[in-house]
């Protein structure tokens, strides 16, 4: 985001401030659709659940991936004024509850809409059978997430060799298995992980077909195809060294066409970080400048318990810049809380933290960090009684 424009926004608003650029959200959505035309986008609301972002993506035509009742309600509030039949169809066809472990009250809430759900165990299947038996199910399988920024296979996914057996049990119980889902881990920069996962899914389909297991979207939806859910993991270029989405999308399109006939397979994905990471810029103020220390130390009004929580929970690398010009030198940078963990520079407890170099700053100067739209305000806390950064939305389409 243009530095001069940011400075103008800071004059009009107090810090800490998180600026979300909705024009960039729209560009990200369109790029995803253009490069992966076979893939329906289900925005992973967990990446940034603020209603304004959900609204913009809804207006662009996005579907949604929710992981809790609260996230469902954010989406529902966006679409609640649709006519009743359109609302029912939207939740039925454009929403997936992609958390493989769900609370019973969430299933009760969704039962009337026959939603799409993921599961990865016989126990969860039994819960769905009891509380939401008309749902469509995607079986989540475990795949390699080695090398990804955030790993998920330690918690979710059935081993591929056990998938066919669970599919049979699910169908025999009277539930409808519509397809397979997987997740290669967040911020995956190795296309081969997607390729191997897709080959695994194709193998499971082939085994199930050979045994006569009836996988696919129900006839009541108007057609019968198997669903492949690519999950998330689509990379954002934080430092420019990561695998480009352009390169990954070429590989994915080739493999999707090779393994899954278009007339027999529906493809969906759950991008979160990809949609919003580069839309957010965090701006904070120096509330104390210590030049008596070596190196100098700058204390900010935002830190790792707030917007920069992405450094802890999502391993996001931080590129901190100053509005002020000048020769840069190494410095320590701290957040505002009374906890020693609240350190943004070279913190041994935070993956991807590194040395920070800034020009000489004084109290009242401002710094900013780009690529802070994902897993930042979403995981911010009120620790020490300090509120989260104000979120400022720019370039929102007028109604």
In CATH, what number is assigned to the domain containing residue 335?
2.40.37.10
C-alpha to C-alpha distance for 397 and 310, rounded to whole angstroms? 28
Is position 7 within any domain? Answer: yes
Using a 10 angstrom Cβ sphere, with 0-12 exposed, 13-18 middle and 19 or more buried, the burial of residue 83 is exposed
Closest by Cα among 159, 167, 151 to 315: 151
C-alpha to C-alpha distance for 376 and 50, rounded to whole angstroms? 12
* Alpha-carbon distance values, 171 to 50, 125, 141, 343 (Å): 37, 10, 17, 52
Closest by Cα among 376, 148, 370, 44 to 238: 370
Is position 30 within any domain? Answer: yes
Same domain, 70 and 175: yes
> Residue 215 corresponds to which tokens in the numbers above?
């996988």
Average pLDDT, the chain: 90
Count of the separate structural domains present in the chain: 2
**What CATH number is attached to the domain comprising 34?**
3.20.20.10
> Residue 184 corresponds to which tokens in the numbers above?
């290669």
Cis peptide, bond prior to residue 295, ω within 30 of zero: yes
C-alpha to C-alpha distance for 267 and 262, rounded to whole angstroms? 9
**Cβ atoms of residues 57 and 275 within 8 Å:** yes
Q: What stretches in the chain show pLDDT beneath 70?
A: 144-155, 185-188, 217-224, 239-243, 399
- pLDDT on residue 82: 94
Domain boundary among 224, 254, 276: 276
**Cβ atoms of residues 108 and 131 within 8 Å:** yes
- pLDDT on residue 246: 87
Domain boundary among 253, 276, 299: 276
Is position 35 within any domain? Answer: yes
Same domain, 285 and 383: yes
Same domain, 319 and 267: no
Beta-bridged to residue 159, according to DSSP, are none
Same domain, 9 and 76: no
Same domain, 235 and 246: yes
- pLDDT on residue 322: 97
Is position 399 within any domain? Answer: no
C-alpha to C-alpha distance for 67 and 76, rounded to whole angstroms? 13
Residues recorded for the chain: 399
Same domain, 173 and 41: yes
- pLDDT on residue 221: 47
Beta-bridged to residue 303, according to DSSP, are none
Compute φ and ψ for 316, nearest 5 degrees.
Answer: -75, 130
C-alpha to C-alpha distance for 131 and 171, rounded to whole angstroms? 16
Active site residues: 338
C-alpha to C-alpha distance for 241 and 244, rounded to whole angstroms? 8
* Alpha-carbon distance values, 373 to 30, 216, 308 (Å): 18, 36, 10
> Residue 312 corresponds to which tokens in the numbers above?
């802890």
pTM score: 0.93
Domain boundary among 276, 308, 338: 276
Same domain, 161 and 257: yes
Same domain, 37 and 172: yes
Same domain, 74 and 140: yes
The DSSP symbol for 186 reads B
Same domain, 262 and 285: no
Same domain, 59 and 30: yes
User: Which runs of consecutive H residues, i.e. helices, occur in the chain?
Assistant: 3-12, 22-35, 51-60, 69-79, 84-93, 104-110, 122-131, 160-172, 191-210, 245-259, 273-276, 310-313
User: Parallel, antiparallel, or unpaired: how do β-strands 136-140 and 176-181 relate?
Assistant: parallel
Q: Which domain holds residue 348?
A: 3-16+277-394
Same domain, 198 and 314: no
């Amino acid at each position: 985001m243009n530095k001069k424009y940011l400075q103008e926004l800071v004059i009009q608003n107090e810090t800490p401030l998180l600026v979300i650029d909705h024009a960039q959200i729209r560009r990200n959505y369109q790029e995803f659709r253009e490069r992966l035309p076979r893939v329906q986008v289900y925005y992973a609301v967990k990446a940034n659940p603020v209603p304004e972002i959900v609204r913009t993506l809804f207006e662009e035509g996005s579907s949604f991936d929710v992981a809790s009742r609260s996230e469902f309600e954010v989406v529902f509030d966006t679409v609640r004024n649709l006519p009743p039949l359109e609302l029912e169809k939207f939740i039925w066809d454009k929403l997936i509850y992609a958390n493989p472990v769900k609370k019973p009250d969430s299933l009760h809430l969704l039962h009337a809409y026959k939603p799409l759900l993921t599961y990865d165990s016989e126990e969860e299947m039994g819960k769905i059978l009891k509380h939401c038996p008309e749902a469509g199910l995607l079986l989540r399988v475990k795949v390699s997430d080695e090398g990804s920024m955030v790993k998920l296979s330690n918690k979710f996914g059935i081993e591929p060799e056990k998938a066919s057996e669970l599919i049979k049990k699910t169908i025999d119980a009277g539930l409808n298995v519509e397809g397979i889902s997987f997740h290669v881990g967040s911020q995956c920069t190795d296309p081969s992980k997607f390729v191997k996962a897709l080959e695994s899914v194709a193998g499971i389909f082939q085994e199930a077909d050979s045994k006569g297991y009836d996988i696919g979207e129900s006839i009541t939806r108007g057609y019968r195809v198997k669903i492949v859910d690519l999950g998330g993991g689509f990379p954002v270029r934080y430092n420019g060294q990561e695998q480009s989405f352009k390169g990954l999308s070429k590989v994915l399109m080739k493999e999707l066409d090779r393994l899954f006939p278009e007339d027999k397979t529906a493809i969906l994905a759950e991008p979160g970080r990809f949609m919003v990471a580069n839309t957010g810029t965090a701006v904070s103020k120096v509330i104390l400048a210590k030049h008596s220390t070596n190196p100098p130390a700058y204390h900010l009004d935002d830190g790792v318990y707030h917007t920069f929580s992405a450094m802890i929970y999502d391993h996001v690398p931080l590129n901190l810049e100053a509005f002020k010009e000048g020769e840069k030198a190494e410095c320590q940078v701290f957040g505002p809380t009374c906890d020693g963990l609240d350190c943004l520079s070279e913190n041994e407890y935070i993956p991807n933290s590194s040395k920070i170099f800034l020009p000489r700053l004084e109290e009242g100067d401002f710094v900013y960090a780009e690529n802070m739209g994902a897993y930042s305000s979403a995981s911010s806390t009120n620790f020490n009684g300090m509120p989260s950064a104000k979120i400022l939305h720019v370039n929102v389409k007028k109604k």
